[in-house]
């Protein structure tokens, strides 16, 4: 998933501070506690891009 944070960087910073390690099928760098992103919304822009949300 790619995107740009335009609001709520404090939430991103809080997620980044979570302890990581091996979990499930992943060998490293996975949050040890489940992190859920409850909602995201596409941002309407006037960039002229043909990208679809």
Query: Tell me: the pLDDT tens digits for 11-52?
Result: 889 999 999 999 999 999 999 999 998 888 887 877 655 555
Confirm whether 3 is domain-assigned: no
Confirm whether 51 is domain-assigned: no
Confirm whether 43 is domain-assigned: no
Are residues 22 and 11 in contact, defined by beta-carbon separation less than 8 angstroms? no
Confirm whether 24 is domain-assigned: yes
| pTM for the structure as a whole | 0.60
**Is the pLDDT confidence value at 6 over 90?**
no
Confirm whether 47 is domain-assigned: no
- For 13, the enclosing helix (H) or strand (E) is helix 9-16
Confirm whether 41 is domain-assigned: no
Residues 6+ apart with CB under 8 A from 23: 30, 31, 32
Full residue range of the structural domain in which residue 14 is found? 8-33
Measured CA to CA, the distance from residue 8 to residue 48 in angstroms comes to 25
Confirm whether 17 is domain-assigned: yes
Confirm whether 27 is domain-assigned: yes
Are residues 42 and 53 in contact, defined by beta-carbon separation less than 8 angstroms? yes
Instruction: DSSP letter for 16, please.
Output: H
């Amino acid at each position: 998933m790619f995107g740009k944070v335009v609001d709520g960087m404090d939430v991103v910073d809080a997620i980044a501070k979570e302890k990581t390690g091996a979990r499930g099928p992943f060998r490293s760098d996975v949050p040890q506690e489940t992190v859920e992103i409850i909602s995201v919304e596409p941002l309407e822009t006037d960039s002229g891009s043909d990208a679809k949300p």
